[in-house]
Amino acid sequence: MRPCHGVVRATTAVAPLPRSAGARRFPILLASVGALVVALAALHIGLGTVRIAPGEIAAAMLDRAADPVHRQIVWELRLPRMLIALVAGVMLGLAGALLQAITRNPLASPSLTGISAGGVLAVVAWLSFAPAGLAGGGVLPLLALAGGLATIALVYTLSWQGGSDPTRLALCGILVGAICSALTLLLLVLDAQRLGSVLRWIIGSINGRVWVHWEILWPWALVALPLGLLSAGAANALGLGDATAAGLGQRPERARAALLFVAALLTAGAVAVVGAIGFIGLIGPHLARRLVGDDARRAFPLSALVAAAILLAADVVAQALTLDFPFGDATRRAGLPVGALTALLGAPFFLYLMLREER
């Protein structure tokens, strides 16, 4: 009998564990979406009032452009805008993936949990009441973070009934977000002269974003993105339920609070620069999970890249849809705010998800 037992043990030891379909195709999908992001980034830089060929883009970035105007357009206008769209999309996508994982709710996102609305309210309140010399600059991410953290803390408190329920959390997030949006609009009614300067925070826009805005964004991304990606293990444990997470050595409430803080950190950095661009943090993670499954180790990086691709593509379209905006006594032609376009695309997608969840 012993030899038979030995054979069984040996066979069990060498038998490989089956890999899911999502795990098998993850490297290919990650590389494919990464290549799509690179292509969209080049398209983002090349298109506009002045079209620049890919070869000219490369020459301009290497300071070898035949036309000095092309170098100025690429370096001073389009490259910072592209980088901001790319990194803001990554941050919002990862924040949405975090929120969906820890709440076990596919409808969770920075906008639907109130984090974006709270950050925008804090930024708009500061811009409305702060002295002119202090309004703006590096303080905006701190204000957006404070607003986002205060909002998610309130949402979490209101949804707590002896435990955290994903449905209550989503509903309280929508309620608190609506209140924050109403307060933001009230501030605009009280100070209508500042409407033009704060409207982009409400809608979400990358128009006019240049290097000074990139300098605000990248330090936050440098800190928050690694924290978000390293949270995959804790998010996987929480996704199994609090009892299982505790059995795996996690402290569920402490881990959930820490991951909510990371999600607020990611959202705050993006909101402080591009405003409340909606639905990016909902669509990107949902598509990523459909492709590679719920394992956060795969879903988190793919969510970030998919959301970045969506925001880059949306901003390319938004730049092409130019409109006449009032500017003093005259009008100025500019691209459509990208937040308006993502809202138009995201609202039907959100409705589809709600109907799908009800089934």
Q: What is the mean pLDDT of the chain?
A: 82
pTM of the model: 0.85
Give a yes or no: residue 36 inside a domain: no
Q: Half-sphere exposure of residue 112, counting CA atoms within 13 Å on the CB side?
A: 28
Give a yes or no: residue 345 inside a domain: yes
**Model confidence band, residue 358 (pLDDT cutoffs 50, 70, 90):** low
**Nearest alpha-carbon partner for 259 in 142, 94, 120, 119:** 94
Quick one: pLDDT at residue 34?
A: 95
Quick one: pLDDT at residue 357?
A: 65
Which CATH number does the domain housing residue 55 bear? 1.10.3470.10
Stated as kind and residue range, the H or E segment containing 350 is helix 338-358
**DSSP assignment of 155-215, as one string?**
HHHHHBSSSB-HHHHHHHHHHHHHHHHHHHHHHHHHTGGGHHHHHHHHH---TT--HHHHH
pLDDT tens digit sequence for 121-154 = 998 888 878 776 666 566 777 888 889 889 988 9
Residue 325 confidence (pLDDT) above 60: no
Q: What are phi and psi of 216, to 5 degrees?
A: -80, -35
pLDDT tens digit sequence for 264-296 = 889 988 988 898 898 899 999 999 999 998 899
Tokens 């949405």 — which residue? 96
**Model confidence band, residue 329 (pLDDT cutoffs 50, 70, 90):** low
Give a yes or no: residue 3 inside a domain: no
The total number of structural domains in the chain stands at 1
Residue 247 CB contacts under 8 Å (≥ 6 apart), including other chains: none
pLDDT tens digit sequence for 76-104 = 889 999 999 999 999 999 999 999 888 88
Give a yes or no: residue 21 inside a domain: no
Range from 3-7, 128-132, 179-183 carrying the lowest mean pLDDT:
3-7
Give a yes or no: residue 23 inside a domain: no
Strands (E), the chain: 322-327, 330-335
| pLDDT greater at residue 98 or residue 111 | 98
**Nearest alpha-carbon partner for 214 in 94, 83, 304, 309:** 83
| pLDDT greater at residue 358 or residue 304 | 304
First CA to last CA distance, the chain: 53
Give a yes or no: residue 37 inside a domain: no
Query: Does residue 248 sit in helix, strand or coil?
Result: coil
Q: Which domain holds residue 89?
A: 43-358
Give a yes or no: residue 88 inside a domain: yes
Quick one: pLDDT at residue 92?
A: 96
Give a yes or no: residue 192 inside a domain: yes
Give the distance, in angstroms, between the CA of residue 266 and the centroid of all CA atoms in the same chain: 7
